[in-house]
């Protein structure tokens, strides 16, 4: 039996036993996980069948045609935490977290950046001290998207301050409802508080919730970061990187263009519009090809290209949208403070005024544009790296701001 035939047989059995029309969505997703159809490239017994990842699209398409609902909400963080746990977690950790993550029973967020450790993520200072079968966590994280609704957070800590900064880090699944965890909103230019600060004061985390070996947090975090850049760069099913909608976010500009008075549809503007549409389509097709050529495993540094291209395109594109709208772009936007419960990194779901403001974050989240250029130069093009004088010295001797 070929891999495709195996997948189709599993789908046929799933649909026969649990018709999506009469099965609650969360329950259906649980059965889908048990059938190995959550992530087909994951190991058997952990939501997968050990097959190539491109078969996931076939699964999604067949189940969509059968009436199954999309694997929402909060797919974005599932795309980060799931691969990290399946790659670095013990079987016990996989057993504990993967299924409720996939069904949506437990929502995740990311706890990486700190006030003094953003681009230099390995310089983080949140402290984890072992106490028997538990760890005591103290520190602060920032820019934590949707932390206010999360059940668990992907937390990276400093467990050995005497080791070099990349060596003394340990990765945990943090219970966001645990005593000592405080989430505070960060209001953005959009009026939303999608981002948060998270404070941890003497928070106790069981060692059973550790993801990867002690001191191997940097390796585990790279898996998360590569998948984050992949998710942002490909648009997570929306935006300029989407592989499903020709033109992607450029269609927002096309819609505005079609409403303009003919006198405003100048040749220069039309030329600019077509350049953006072509660039968006090139990104879409490039990402689609990359997905078709992907092998089982996690994305490599090349996905920094997609994330960088997505960020730069979106900023220029929505500036152009606002320019096309003229004075109308300055009105009819609600800046009321609100706490969103979903994530749209492209902003396409909320109109061009919102998108113009939201995409400012695209060149920061998931790795700044400057860091991504370094990754591309060093890891993709093979250029000499920048001098790093603090790489091999103990973390606690490195000056920090």
CATH number at residue 179: 2.40.110.10
Whether the CB-CB separation of 78 and 87 falls below 8 Å is answered with no
Q: How far is 128 from 209, CA to CA, in rounded Å?
A: 13
Same domain, 177 and 260: no
Considering the domain boundaries, does residue 389 fall inside one? Answer: no
The whole-angstrom separation of Cα 180 and Cα 183 is 10
Judge if 239 and 144 occupy the same domain: no
Is residue 242's pLDDT more than 50? Answer: no
Q: Could you tell me how far CA 57 lies from the centroid of its own chain?
A: 18
From residue 160, give the alpha-carbon distance in Å to each of 164, 169, 221, 349, 391. 9, 7, 16, 43, 15
Mean pLDDT, the chain, whole residue set: 89
Say whether both 259 and 351 belong to one domain. yes
Q: What is the CATH number of the domain that holds 298?
A: 1.20.140.10
Measure the CA–CA gap between 228 and 280, rounded to whole angstroms. 20
Classify residue 392: in a domain, yes or no.
Answer: no
Looking at the domain assignment, is residue 156 inside a domain? yes
Q: Convert the pLDDT of each residue in 332-391 to its tens digit.
A: 898 899 888 776 655 566 889 999 999 988 888 878 888 889 888 988 888 998 888 888
Q: How many domains does the chain have?
A: 3
Domain shared by 116 and 208, yes or no: yes
One domain for residues 198 and 251:
no
Tell me, yes or no, whether 35 lies in a domain: yes
Taking residues 298-318, what's their average pLDDT? 83
Q: Which pLDDT score is estimated for 401?
A: 64
Question: Quick one: 128 and 54 in the same domain?
Answer: no
The last residue of a domain, from among 87, 103, 119: 103
pLDDT band at 239 (very low <50, low <70, confident <90, very high): very low
Report how far residue 380's alpha carbon sits from residue 298's, in angstroms, rounded to the nearest whole number: 16
Query: What is the domain range of residue 308?
Result: 222-380
Q: Which residues belong to the active site?
A: 228
Residue 233 sits in the same domain as residue 369: yes
Residues 73 and 146 in one domain: no
Residue 346 has what pLDDT? Answer: 54
Tokens of 92: 């016990």
Q: Are strands 127-131 and 108-111 parallel, antiparallel or unpaired?
A: unpaired
Residue 32 lies in a domain: yes
User: What string of DSSP letters covers 272-309?
Assistant: HHHHHHHHHHHHHHHHHHHHHH--SS---TTHHHHHHH
| Burial class of 22 by CB neighbour count within 10 A (0 to 12, 13 to 18, 19+) | exposed
Q: Give 230 or 110, the one with higher predicted confidence.
A: 110
Question: Please, are residues 153 and 210 in contact by the beta-carbon 8 Å criterion?
Answer: no
Assess whether pLDDT exceeds 50 at residue 27.
Answer: yes
Binned at pLDDT 50, 70 and 90, residue 72 comes out as low
Answer yes or no: do 72 and 149 share one domain.
no
Give the percent of the chain with pLDDT over 90. Answer: 66
194 in the same domain as 306:
no
* Domain annotation covers residue 385: no
Task: Confirm if 346 and 355 have CB atoms less than 8 A apart.
Answer: yes
CATH number of the domain encompassing residue 80: 1.10.540
| Range list of H helices, 18-74 | 25-34, 55-65
Q: Average pLDDT, stretch 129-145?
A: 97
Q: What pLDDT is attached to residue 244? A: 59
* 391 belongs to a structural domain: no
The pTM (predicted TM-score) of the whole model is: 0.86
57 with 192, same domain? no
Residues 41-53, mean pLDDT to the nearest whole number: 95
Domain-embedded: residue 393: no
Of the three residues 216, 245, 266, the one that is the final residue of a domain is 216
Tens digit of each residue's pLDDT (9 = 90 or more) over 77-105: 998 999 999 999 999 999 999 999 999 99
Which of 47, 70, 103 is a domain's end point?
103
């Amino acid at each position: 039996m070929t891999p495709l035939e195996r997948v189709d047989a599993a789908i046929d059995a799933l649909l026969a036993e649990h018709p999506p029309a009469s099965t609650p969505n969360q329950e259906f997703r649980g059965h889908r996980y048990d059938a190995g159809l959550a992530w087909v490239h994951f190991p058997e017994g952990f939501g997968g069948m050990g097959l190539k990842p491109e078969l996931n699209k076939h699964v999604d398409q067949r189940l969509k045609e059968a009436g199954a609902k999309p694997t929402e909400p909060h797919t974005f963080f599932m795309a980060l935490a799931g691969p990290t746990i399946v790659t670095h977690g013990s079987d016990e950790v996989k057993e504990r977290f993967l299924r409720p993550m996939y069904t949506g029973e437990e929502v995740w967020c990311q706890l990486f950046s700190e006030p003094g450790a953003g681009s230099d993520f390995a310089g983080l200072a949140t402290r984890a001290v072992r106490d028997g079968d538990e760890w005591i966590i103290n520190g602060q994280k920032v820019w934590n998207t949707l932390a206010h609704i999360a059940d668990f957070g992907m937390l990276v800590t400093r467990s050995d301050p005497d080791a070099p900064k990349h060596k003394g880090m340990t990765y945990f699944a943090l219970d966001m409802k645990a005593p000592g965890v405080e989430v505070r909103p960060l209001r953005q230019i959009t009026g939303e508080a999608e981002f948060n600060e998270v404070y941890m004061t003497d928070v106790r985390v069981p060692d059973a919730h550790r993801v990867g070996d002690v001191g191997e947090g940097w390796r585990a975090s790279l898996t998360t970061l590569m998948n984050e850049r992949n998710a942002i760069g490909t648009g997570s099913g929306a935006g300029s990187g989407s592989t499903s909608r020709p033109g992607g976010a450029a269609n927002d500009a096309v819609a505005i263009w079609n409403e303009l008075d003919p006198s405003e549809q100048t040749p220069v503007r039309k030329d600019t519009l077509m350049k953006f549409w072509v660039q968006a389509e090139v990104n879409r097709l490039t990402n689609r090809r990359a997905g078709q050529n992907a092998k089982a495993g996690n994305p490599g540094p090349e996905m920094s290209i997609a994330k960088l291209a997505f960020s730069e395109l979106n900023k220029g594109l929505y500036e152009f949208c606002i320019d096309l709208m003229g004075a109308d772009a300055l009105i009819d936007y609600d800046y009321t403070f609100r706490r969103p419960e979903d994530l749209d990194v492209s902003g396409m779901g909320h109109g061009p005024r919102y998108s113009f403001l939201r995409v400012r974050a695209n060149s920061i989240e998931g790795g700044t544009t400057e860091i991504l250029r370094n990754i591309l130069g060093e890891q993709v093009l093979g250029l000499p790296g920048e001098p790093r004088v603090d790489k091999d010295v103990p973390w606690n001797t490195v000056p920090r701001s």
